Structure 1
Amino acid sequence: MNRPSSPATAGGAVEDNSTRQRILAATAEVLGRSGQAKLSLSDVAQQAGVSRPTLYRWFASKEALLDAFAVYERQMFDTGISRATAGLRGSDRLDGALQFIVDYQHSYSGVRAVDIEPEVVIARLGQVIPVMRAQLERLLTGPSAPVKAATAIRVAVSHYIVRSDDDDGFLDQLRHAVGIRPSR
Structure 2
Amino acid sequence: MRNNEPLTAAVDPAEDNSTRRRILAATAEVLSRSGQSKLSLSDVAQQAGVSRPTLYRWFASKEDLLDAFSIYEREMFDTGISRATAGLRGTDRLDAALRFIVDYQHSYSGVRAIDIEPEVVIARLSQVLPVMRAQLEKLLSGPSAPVKAATAIRVAVCHYIVRSDDDDGFLDQLRHAVGIKTASR
Name the TM tier (shorter chain): over 0.9
Determine whether 1:74 maps to 2:74: yes
Note closer, same or farther for the CA distance 1:103–1:4 as it changes in structure 2 (3 Å cut). closer
C-alpha deviations, 1:109-131, integer Å up to 9, x for none?
Answer: 11000000000000000000000
Aligned 1:149-160 pairs, distance under 5 A: 149-160=149-160
Q: Which moved more, 1:168-177 or 1:13-22?
A: 13-22
Determine whether 1:114 maps to 2:82: no
User: Which position in structure 1 is the counterpart of 2:37?
Assistant: 37
User: Which position in structure 2 is the counterpart of 1:137?
Assistant: 137
Task: State whether residues 2 and 60 of structure 1, in contact with CA within 8 Å, keep that contact through their aligned partners in structure 2.
Answer: no
Aligned 1:1-184 pairs, distance under 5 A: 5-6=5-6, 12-14=10-12, 16=15, 17-182=17-182
Task: State whether residues 4 and 68 of structure 2, in contact with CA within 8 Å, keep that contact through their aligned partners in structure 1.
Answer: no
Task: State whether residues 3 and 57 of structure 1, in contact with CA within 8 Å, keep that contact through their aligned partners in structure 2.
Answer: no
- Over the matched positions of the two proteins, sequence identity in percent amounts to 82
Note closer, same or farther for the CA distance 1:132–1:3 as it changes in structure 2 (3 Å cut). closer
Secondary structure of 1:139 counterpart:
coil
Note closer, same or farther for the CA distance 1:2–1:129 as it changes in structure 2 (3 Å cut). closer
CA distance in 2 between partners of 1:41 and 1:164 (Å): 32
How many Å apart are 1:5 and its aligned residue? Answer: 1.2
One-letter amino acid of the structure 2 residue matched with residue 74 of structure 1: R
CA RMSD between the two structures: 2.0
C-alpha deviations, 1:52-104, integer Å up to 9, x for none?
Answer: 11000000000000000000001000000100000000000000000000000
CA distance in 2 between partners of 1:182 and 1:64 (Å): 45
Task: Please list every run of at least 4 consecutive aligned residues from structure 1 whose deviation after the TM superposition is greater than 3 angstroms.
Answer: 1-4, 6-9
Task: State whether residues 156 and 174 of structure 1, in contact with CA within 8 Å, keep that contact through their aligned partners in structure 2.
Answer: yes
CA distance in 2 between partners of 1:74 and 1:14 (Å): 25
Normalised TM-score (structure 1): 0.93
Normalised TM-score (structure 2): 0.93
CA distance in 2 between partners of 1:153 and 1:4 (Å): 29
Gaps of 5+ in 2: none
CA distance in 2 between partners of 1:145 and 1:52 (Å): 47
Note closer, same or farther for the CA distance 1:133–1:13 as it changes in structure 2 (3 Å cut). closer
Task: State whether residues 129 and 153 of structure 1, in contact with CA within 8 Å, keep that contact through their aligned partners in structure 2.
Answer: yes
How many Å apart are 1:182 and its aligned residue? Answer: 4.0
CA distance in 1 between partners of 2:59 and 2:171 (Å): 37
CA distance in 2 between partners of 1:156 and 1:3 (Å): 30
CA distance in 2 between partners of 1:68 and 1:2 (Å): 9
Count of aligned pairs: 182
CA distance in 1 between partners of 2:4 and 2:89 (Å): 42
